[in-house]
Amino acid sequence: MTLLPCLPAQCDSVEGLRLLGRPLPASAEVGSAPPSPRPILALPGSQATLYAELIQVSRHSLEAGSDTPPLLWVRPLLLRQGSQVFNLRATSDLLWPAAGFVPAYAEEVLPLLEQARDPAPHEPSARQQLQAFLRQVWRG
């Protein structure tokens, strides 16, 4: 069993974290044993949607009175652009603001996992596609 490290002095459960009005399931708590499946979140953009596995939520952003938006540690899985689905599992984990993320459901994600493919040699790499998507989402 592999245990993932906590964010330095900032780890906690995701209890109380709401993503666009919906709370995360209790199974999203980090640090509970045995490890349970982690929730899959979607970050919709104007032309694409990122699907990522939630690893942890920054505790300091959940503290009462904090004006800092919660940061999520997520592991990118898929990027859906129109009818194409790209495999992003070889890319790096992200720390990203929770705003905009919504829970993704099995009915939505499982078919995409079957369709996911690595970018062709003439297409931008998975890392480049992820970076372009994140720039587009950051700009709003």
**So what's the pLDDT on residue 13?**
46
- Reported as a single tens digit per residue, the pLDDT across 91-129 is 999 999 998 999 999 899 999 999 999 999 999 999 999
Residue of 14, 35, 33, 34 whose CA lies nearest to 25: 14
Residue of 30, 31, 28, 26 whose CA lies nearest to 39: 28
Q: Which residues contact 125 (CB under 8 A, 6 or more apart)?
A: 119
Q: Which residues contact 88 (CB under 8 A, 6 or more apart)?
A: 50, 76, 77, 78, 79, 126, 129, 130
CB 17, CB 24: distance < 8 Å: yes
Give me the half-sphere count of Cα atoms (radius 13 Å) on the Cβ side of residue 123.
14
- Reported as a single tens digit per residue, the pLDDT across 26-68 is 554 455 455 678 899 999 999 999 999 999 988 665 565 667 7
